[in-house]
A and B are shown apart, each in its own frame.
Chain A
Amino acid sequence: MDTVDAAIERGRTALDARMRALVGRLAYADTAYALPVTYAVTGIAVRDADGAREAYRQSGNNLLIACECLMAAGGGVASPYTGFIPDTVLRRLGYTLVDGSVTGLGLLVGTPENPDAAAAVCREMQEKYLLTFLAGGVVEALSGAGVRLGLDYRLVPLGPQSAHGIHFADIIARVAMMFGGVQPGDVQSLLGYAAERAKAFVVAFPGLTDEEIAFVDALRALGIPILAAGGTYEGGAWVPVAPADAVRTGMDLRGIRVTVTAIPIPMACSPAFEGKSIRKEEMYVEFGGGRTPAFELLRMRPREEVKDGAVTVLGPEVDDIPEGAALPLAILVDVAGARMKADYEPVLERRIHTFVNYGEGSWHVAQRDLIWVRLSKDAVAKGVRIRDIGTLLAHKFKLEFPEHVDAVQVTLVTDGQKVREMLPEAREIYARRDERIAGMKDEDVETFYSCTLCQTFAPNHVCVITPERPALCGAITWLDARIAHEISPAGANQPVEKGEVVDAVLGEFLGVNRFVKKASRGEVDRISLYSMLENPMTACGCFECIAAVVPEVNGILIVSRDFPGETPLGMTFSTLAGTIGGGAQTPGFVGISKNYILSDRFLQAENGIVRVVWMPSSLKEELGDRLRAKLAERGMPDLFEKIADEVSAPTIEDLIEFLERVGHPALGMRPLI
C-alpha cells in the first residue's frame, strides 16, 4: 500500500508536465465565469493554454487550476453525465443552497468496493438534504445497484472519471461569485465563502489515480474535508471512515444540520403572540406567580443522556384539574450539543420566556424560581395540553440555536411534592451561576452589554448590563450577555462601549449614553448606572425588585416581586411596578435585580446600602448571609438588624419610629431630595 502524500507528489509532477504540454483554446459553454475556479482565484478569464499557464503560475501552482484548465481542454461527456454545468442550471442549484432546501454539498469519487454500501451513502445524503455530485466509477456502480441519478434526485453524475470532480470546485466558485458577492481574484473571500456558506465534503472510494488523488487533496484548500471510505488511502490529511459513517462524519465536520420548521402542537406559535397577555378570566390553568412553587432550569447534559425531542409530564395534566386551577411547575430543559457550553445555560434558559410567549395560548413572565405561566381557556379547548409547552420548547431550542443545540428533551413536573424536592438543587445552580460573575468589577472591562429583549413590551427600554449591575430581571449577568452576543450577534444583547467617564460616582459614561440614545430611539439621552435620582435607568417591567426613595426618613426601601403586601409608601409591588415600568425614567424609583443589592456599585450615588431602610422579610432572609457579609465588609455589621420589614414597620409612621429607635444611619445623612 502506498501513502496519500507520495501519490500527491507523483500526481503533482504528472499534472505539471501536462500543464507544460497544454495547447489550444480552453473554454466551457454557457458561462459568464470563463474557467470559474481559475477566474475566482486569480481574476484571470483564461481562454487559451498560455493564459492557463500564466494563471497557474500566479496562483502559486494551485492544482485545482491545473485540473480545471486540463479539463477545459478536453471534450465534453455524454449523457447521463452532466459534465460542466451551465450557469442557468447552477443558479438553481445555488438557490437551493442559499434557501436552505439543500443543507450542504457532497462529492463522491472513486469506485466503491461494495455498490450497495455506496447506494446507502447516497440514500443518507438524500435524507439529509445534501446535494451530491458523483465522479468516476461510483456512477456506474450506483446505476448498477439500481440507484436513480439526476438533478431531480439530488444525485448529479458529473463524469465517468474522478477527475470530472473538478466541476464540483467550479460549482462552489461560481456560487460564491453569484450569491456571495465574491469578486474574481479575491481568494480570501472565496475561501471564507467556501468555509462558511458552501458547506461541502468529499467521500473518496478506492481506485483514484495519482493525479486524481492530488486533485481531490487540493480541494482541502477550500475547507473541504476528504473522507477516505475503504482502506486503500493511508496518511495525508484524509479522514478514514467506514462507508456507513461517512455522511454523519462529513456533516459533523462541516457543522451541517437538518432542521424542521413546523411544531406539532394544536396552537399557533409565532412572535406575533409574544406581546399578548392571558388575563385571569381567560386563564384555564396557571403555574407559579406566587400561588404555587414553580421554576425553570436549563442544563447541558452529555449527548447520550438526552433523548432528542422527548417530552415528559410528571404529575397532573390539564384533564386532571378544574378550570381556573393553579398547579406547581418545574420546566426542566436538557440540551446537548457539540458546541454547547455550560456558560450558555443561563442565556438559553432566559429564552424559555420568549418561546412560551410565542404560543398563542401560553403566557410566561419572570424567570428562574419566580416564573408565572398560564394556559388560556381557548387553547385548552383547542386541545392544548401542558405537554405542548414542552414540545414547543424542544422544537424552538433546536430551531433557534441550530449551531449549539443538537438534542433537547423537556420534562414538565406538575407534582407539587416533586417540584418542592427539586427546588433547592435549582437554587444552588442559580447561586453557582451568580458566583461566576462575583469578583468582576466594572472598571475591569471596557465594554458593557445591552439587553433589549423586553422592547416588545416596553418599546424604549434599554437595559445596560455591567459586571456589577446585572439586568434588572436578575436573569442575565454581564457574562451571560457577552455569551448571548456570541451566540446571536444580531440579537438583543449588543456590546456597549463605555467611552469617556462623565461622572464616576453616578456611573455616567459617554459611550453608554450614545448607545442608550440610539437603542431607545432618541427617547432617553443619558442614564446613570449607579443612581436612582439622576437619570436612573429605565425599567421594562421584569425587575426582580423596586427600590424607592422614602423621603420621610431620607432612605430607600426595596420591595421584591413576591411580596404581596403594602410597603410603608402605601403602595404594593404591583402598584409601584405599574408606575415605573414601560420604559420610562422615574427619578426616585428604579427597577433592580436582587444581586445588584449586594453589589459595591449599588446606588452608590445615593450612598448605597447604608440608605436601605426597609425590605420584606422574605427578601432579607433570602439575601441573608450574603448581605450580612457585605455589610460587615463595609464596616457596618449591625446594619442588617436596623433594616425594617413588614412586621417591624408596616406603615410609614412605624418605619420612622423603628429607624429612630435603632438609630439607622440614614436619618443623619444628607437629604436625598
Chain B
Amino acid sequence: MTNSSEPGSEVREVRLGATRAEGGTREVSYVIGGERDLPFLGNRPDRLLVALEVCDDPRFSPPVVRDYVGDLANNPDEWARAAERTYGADLVRLNFTSTKQRRFDAFGEIATTMDQVLAATIRPLIVEGSSEPELDSEVFRRCGEAGEGERLLLGTAEADRYRSVAAAALAYGHAVIAQSPIDINLAKQLNILLRETGIPRDRIVIDPYTGALGYGFEYSYSVMERVRLAGLAGDADLAMPMISAPADTLSVREVREAAPADRDAMAVAWEFYTAYSAFVAGASIVCVRHPLSVKKLREVLEVNRR
C-alpha cells in the first residue's frame, strides 16, 4: 500500500497565497502536499501549517478564546495581525461567523472585512465564507472578489452545497476546502463534483471533518488515514492534501466546566492533542482557535523537523 515508487502515487501539491510576483499581495506563499509517504515517515514536516481562527463576529467564538484575546475580538484585522505576528500562526483562518445571525444581510461588510484583513496580514489566508446555504451565493462572491489574485483557501464546499464556493474559486482564482462528513466515498464524490465544475485537482484541499479527541476523533483519524493511503495508492481523486479544523474541542464538557484558573490550559490541552493527532493522521493544515495552541503546535513541529 505504501509503495511510493509507483508513478503518480503522491499527494498533489496545492499552492496557497500569492506574492506580488505571483499576482497577489502576500509576502510569502505556501505549497502543501507533495508527500509520497505516510505522515512523519521521512516526508516534509516543514510543509505542515498551523492556522488560527479569527471571527468577524466574536459572539460566535468560544468564551475561552474571547476572554483570552480581549479587545482584539472586536477588530478582526487587529486580531488577524496578532495571529500572525504575536501568536505565530502560519496563516489566518478568517471565519465569517456574522453569517450565523438570523436574517444576515450585511453583505457590504463582508467585502470591507476582507479588505481590512488582507491589508493587516502578510501570509496566505483561509476564508470560511457563509454559514447558511441561502447566503452562499452572495457571501462567497464577495469573499472571492475581494480576494481576487490572492489565491485564498476558500471554504467550505459540501456535497449538497459546493456550487457557490466553486464558482468563486473559478471566477477569482482560489483554492477550495472540500468537506465531507467523515466518509471517504463522499470525499471522493465531492472532489469529482468539484472537478466537473472546472476546479482543477491542484486547487482542492480535503476536509474529512474532525470531532474532538475523546468525542469521536478516532473516526476522523481512520478516515484521514484511509484518504492518505488511497491517494498514495494512486487514487487521484483522493490524492489531495487535507485540512483539519477540530472546532468542537473548545466546547467539550471538560473545557466548559473547567475551573476558571485551569480553563486556558484545559482548552489548549484539548485542542493541541486533537490537532496534533490530526497532523499524525495526515493533515497538512490544522486550524485551531486558542492562540496558545498555535505556539505549542509550532514547538512540536520544530522538534519533528530536527
Contacts of A490 in B (CB 8 A): 189, 192-193, 196
Is A459 located at the chain interface by the 8 A CB criterion?
yes
Q: A459 touching B136 by the CB < 8 A rule?
A: no
Complex CA–CA separation, A98 to B161 (angstroms): 12
Q: Which one of B61-69, B229-237, B249-257 is at the interface?
A: B229-237
In this complex, which of A96, A262, A492 has the most chain B Cβ atoms within 10 angstroms of its Cβ? Answer: A96
Q: B159 touching A271 by the CB < 8 A rule?
A: yes
Q: A271 touching B171 by the CB < 8 A rule?
A: no
Cβ of A649 to closest chain B Cβ, rounded Å: 42
Q: A178 touching B233 by the CB < 8 A rule?
A: no
Contacts of A270 in B (CB 8 A): 181
Contacts of B193 in A (CB 8 A): 490
Is B197 located at the chain interface by the 8 A CB criterion?
yes
Interface residues as binary, A453-465 with B (CB distance below 8 Å gives 1, 0 otherwise): 0011001000000
Is B145 located at the chain interface by the 8 A CB criterion?
yes
Contacts of A411 in B (CB 8 A): none
Q: A522 touching B184 by the CB < 8 A rule?
A: no
Q: Which one of B20-28, B162-170, B283-291 is at the interface?
A: B162-170
Residues from 140 to 186 in B contacting A, C-beta threshold 8 Å: 140-141, 144-145, 159-161, 163-164, 166-168, 170-172, 180-186
Given contacts A490-B196, A491-B189, contact A98 B226 (CB under 8 A): no
Q: A101 touching B137 by the CB < 8 A rule?
A: yes
Q: B183 touching A98 by the CB < 8 A rule?
A: no
Contacts of B161 in A (CB 8 A): 261
Q: Which one of A87-95, A117-125, A216-224, A330-338 is at the interface?
A: A87-95
Contacts of B182 in A (CB 8 A): 272
Complex CA–CA separation, A521 to B172 (angstroms): 35
Is A181 located at the chain interface by the 8 A CB criterion?
yes
Q: A101: nearest residue on chain B (CB-CB)?
A: B137
Is A650 located at the chain interface by the 8 A CB criterion?
no
Given contacts A94-B171, A99-B137, A99-B140, contact A521 B230 (CB under 8 A): yes
Contacts of A94 in B (CB 8 A): 167, 171
Residues from 154 to 195 in A contacting B, C-beta threshold 8 Å: 178-181
Interface residues as binary, A511-523 with B (CB distance below 8 Å gives 1, 0 otherwise): 0000000100110
Given contacts A95-B141, A98-B170, A100-B163, contact A261 B181 (CB under 8 A): no
Contacts of A518 in B (CB 8 A): 233-235
Complex CA–CA separation, A100 to B141 (angstroms): 12
Q: Pick the residue among A97, A261, A271, A521 that contacts B133 (CB under 8 A).
A: A261
Cβ of A589 to closest chain B Cβ, rounded Å: 25
Q: A99 touching B233 by the CB < 8 A rule?
A: no
Interface residues as binary, A71-111 with B (CB distance below 8 Å gives 1, 0 otherwise): 00000000000000000000110111111110000000000
Cβ of B234 to closest chain A Cβ, rounded Å: 7
Is B261 located at the chain interface by the 8 A CB criterion?
no
Q: Pick the residue among A275, A459, A492 that contacts B226 (CB under 8 A).
A: A459
Is A239 located at the chain interface by the 8 A CB criterion?
no
Complex CA–CA separation, A452 to B196 (angstroms): 21
Cβ of B177 to closest chain A Cβ, rounded Å: 16
Is A258 located at the chain interface by the 8 A CB criterion?
no
Main secondary structure, interface of B, reads helix
Q: B234: nearest residue on chain A (CB-CB)?
A: A518
Q: B237: nearest residue on chain A (CB-CB)?
A: A490
Given contacts A179-B198, A181-B198, A271-B181, contact A95 B186 (CB under 8 A): no
Complex CA–CA separation, A99 to B233 (angstroms): 33
Complex CA–CA separation, A579 to B180 (angstroms): 30
Is A399 located at the chain interface by the 8 A CB criterion?
yes
Q: B185 touching A95 by the CB < 8 A rule?
A: no
Residues from 436 to 488 in A contacting B, C-beta threshold 8 Å: 452, 455-456, 459
Contacts of A456 in B (CB 8 A): 183, 185
Is B1 located at the chain interface by the 8 A CB criterion?
yes
Given contacts A456-B185, A490-B196, contact A522 B233 (CB under 8 A): yes
Contacts of B186 in A (CB 8 A): 271
Q: A517: nearest residue on chain B (CB-CB)?
A: B233
Contacts of A91 in B (CB 8 A): 145, 171-172
Contacts of B144 in A (CB 8 A): 95
Q: B171 touching A492 by the CB < 8 A rule?
A: no
Q: A99 touching B185 by the CB < 8 A rule?
A: no
Q: Pick the residue among A98, A459, A521 that contacts B171 (CB under 8 A).
A: A98
Q: A99 touching B163 by the CB < 8 A rule?
A: yes
Q: Pick the residue among A96, A399, A521 that contacts B160 (CB under 8 A).
A: A399
Q: B164 touching A99 by the CB < 8 A rule?
A: yes
Cβ of B142 to closest chain A Cβ, rounded Å: 10
Complex CA–CA separation, A491 to B188 (angstroms): 10
Q: B189: nearest residue on chain A (CB-CB)?
A: A490
Interface residues as binary, A196-226 with B (CB distance below 8 Å gives 1, 0 otherwise): 0000000000000000000000000000000
Contacts of A101 in B (CB 8 A): 137, 164
Cβ of A209 to closest chain B Cβ, rounded Å: 36
In this complex, which of B1, B172, B183 has the most chain A Cβ atoms within 10 angstroms of its Cβ? Answer: B183
20 A/B residue pairs, CB under 8 Å, sorted by A: A91-B171, A92-B145, A94-B171, A95-B144, A98-B166, A99-B164, A100-B163, A100-B164, A179-B171, A180-B198, A261-B160, A261-B161, A270-B181, A272-B181, A275-B183, A452-B185, A459-B184, A518-B233, A521-B229, A521-B235
The 6 closest A-B pairs by CB, nearest first: A98-B167, A99-B167, A272-B181, A99-B164, A490-B192, A101-B137
Q: Which residues of B contact A (CB under 8 A)?
A: 1, 133, 136-137, 140-141, 144-145, 159-161, 163-164, 166-168, 170-172, 180-186, 189, 192-193, 196-198, 226, 229-230, 233-235
Seed contacts A98-B197, A261-B160; 18 additional CB < 8 Å A-B pairs: A98-B163, A98-B166, A98-B198, A99-B141, A99-B166, A99-B168, A179-B167, A179-B170, A180-B198, A271-B186, A272-B181, A455-B184, A455-B185, A459-B184, A492-B185, A521-B1, A521-B235, A522-B229
